[in-house]
Amino acid sequence: MRLHDLKPRPGAKHRRKRLGQGESSGHGKTAGRGGKGQTARSGSSIRIGFEGGQMPLIRRIPKRGFNNTRFGTRYIPVNLSELNAFDDGATVNEATLRAAGLANGPGDGIKILGDGELTKKLAVSASAFSAAAKAKIEAKGGTCEVAGRKPAETTKG
C-alpha cells in the first residue's frame, strides 16, 4: 500500500451543495432561499427574537414576581478524595484549597462533600460539610470546623 492508494471510508466525505446550477439540479432558481423578501437577500441576517418590527414576545409578556436564586448561597464543592493531596496532620482551609487548585472560581464558600475515601488525619475548616464528609473526617481522627459563615442579621423593631 502506498500513499496514492489511501482513500477515505465510504460515506465519510460529502459533495458540496452547489446552489444556483439550473432548475434540474434541485437547487436552482432561488438556490434554497425560498421566495422573495428579507431572507432571500445576500448578507441578510435577522437577530434572534426579531418579529419584523412587531413588538417581540419577550417584550409583550409582563415581567413580575420574585426569584430567590440571586440571593442563594453558592458553595464550591470539594470531594474528600481530593483532600488526600495534603500531608497527614495538615490544616486545610479555603486559602490552602485555592492554592492547591482544588477550589476555583467565585463562590460564597467551600463545601466538603463525602465522595471518595480519606486516608489522612486532617483539620478541615470550610463553610459547610455534608454529613457523610463530616463522619469520614472525624472517623480518621480529624476535625471539622465551620468557618466563613456570616452571622444572620436580626432586625429589632
Grid cell locating 51: 418579529
Q: Is a pLDDT exceeding 60 seen at residue 151? A: no
CATH of segment(s) 75-146: 3.100.10.10
SS (H, E, C) the chain: CCHHHCCCCCCCCCCCCCCCCCHHHCCCCCCCCCCCCHHHCCCCCCCCCCCCCCCCHHHHCCCCCCCHHHHCCCCEEEEHHHHHHCCCCCEECHHHHHHCCCCCCCCCCEEEECCCCCCCCCEEEECEECHHHHHHHHHCCCEEEECCCCCCCCCCC
Rounded CA gap, 86 and 70, in Å? 34
Does the pTM surpass 0.75? The reply is no
CA contacts within 13 A on the Cβ side of 35: 1
Q: Is a pLDDT exceeding 60 seen at residue 114? A: yes
Q: Is a pLDDT exceeding 80 seen at residue 150? A: no
Q: What is the pLDDT of residues 27-83, one digit of tens each?
A: 999 999 998 998 899 998 899 999 999 999 999 999 888 988 889 999 999 999 999
Please indicate whether residue 70 or residue 123 has the higher confidence score (pLDDT): 123
pLDDT at position 70, please?
Answer: 85
